[in-house]
Amino acid sequence: MIKEHYGAFIDEELTVAPYKSGILHGKSFAVKDVIHVAGHKNSAGNPDWFKTHEAAEETAPAIQKLLSSGATLKGMTVTDEMMYSLHGENIHYGTPANPVSKKLIPGGSSSGSAVAVASGLRDFAIGTDTGGSVRIPAAYCGLFGFRPSHGLISLEGVIPLAETFDTVGWFTRKAALLEDIGEVLLPDPPKAAPPFKRAVVAADAFQLLTDSQKNALMSAIISCSSKVSTREEQPVTSDDLSNWVDVFRVIQGYEIWQNHGEWVSQHEPAFGPGIRERFRMASTITEEDVAEARRRQLMIQDAVSDLMQEDTLLILPTIAGEAPEIGLAPEEVDQIRQRTMQLTCIAGLNGLPQVTLPVKQGGGLAPLAISIIAPRGRDRDLLTFVTSLCD
């Protein structure tokens, strides 16, 4: 039962004491309701999933690492249904209240995890990020958020969405804690890696913003590039980023149906608006469709590899504008989703690590966010770089 006024938790009473002391001693954290904790049954944001699945026998390895580093697990957080949304609204368990303004959506699908941290109820929280499910709620709620390089953190004990893009990520209010969590969950950085020397400002990504939003992010762009020797502005692609979203959508949808189509067909679960339609779309994607999408993904990866050398950082907006208000019409929700995914699919299609940093706006406006993407595998170096910016 959801007790506290922010609605962040599906189970606020769940508590697991730390296994031993460590770098995260004294820190409390919450976990998204798609990650296994021994003896706890996940709902994945849907009551029918909860009814048709058993409690976990083991705790996910990523969570065990946090418990072994001194952190205390306190609570399981609300998620969008089946992780298949970026909005943060759940018709079954309620929409966690964005602490920035309760009129605004919190972003999803790791909505409860973001709200638990932004409200000050927890020091940090764990979510999952496939198409933006950590980065977007972090941006909407004014937090730091991190999506790691694909494959660096174990997904064992995590309900899958689309394995090509699935990652475990986290939220904090401070950059230093973001880095401390990375020290626990991430492997050591490459010893021979050069320092970051070059920042590329993604010109086409910034075209998704209004002029006033671009101006609001200008000081953040300067700050993010202040510790490198060169800054240049150029597009990520000569193609249109909306075409990259199409590639992402096909691969994601195909894998989602492979993972959950049988369960959906067998149990005919009650889905909220948007979720039902996305599963229906996913069911129509053919093997030929996904083969072509994977071919195009390889071309995208080659192009991004040419753009981003080992010493290069990519700077872009995290979201295509401020957090929208709750209760928008479905067609407006879909438009926002499509625009935002033009930004989030860049790291996803290329398996790259991305940090989102909050950017405050004056005049009572909701926060914006700036992101830094690093070459694959340089996650720890990226987190250290971000901490140095925020000292």
- Backbone φ, ψ for residue 196 (5° rounding): -70, 125
Q: Is residue 238 annotated as part of the catalytic site, yes or no? A: no
Which residue has 């009814």 as its token pair? 51
CB 165 within 8 A of CB 251: yes
| Cα dihedral value 65, 68, 74, 78, nearest 10 | 0
Q: Is 167 helix (H, G, I), strand (E, B) or coil?
A: strand
Rounded to whole angstroms, the Cα distance separating 293 from 244 reads 9
* Active-site residue (options: 111, 133, 225, 371): 133
Q: Is residue 219 annotated as part of the catalytic site, yes or no? A: no
CB 151 within 8 A of CB 351: yes
- Report which DSSP code applies to 120: T
List, in sequence order, the alpha helices (H) in the chain. Answer: 47-51, 61-67, 111-118, 135-140, 175-185, 203-206, 211-224, 241-267, 275-282, 287-307, 330-350, 379-390
Q: Is residue 305 annotated as part of the catalytic site, yes or no? A: no
* Active-site residue (options: 43, 85, 109, 225): 109
* Active-site residue (options: 32, 85, 111, 119): 32
Active site residues: 32, 109, 133
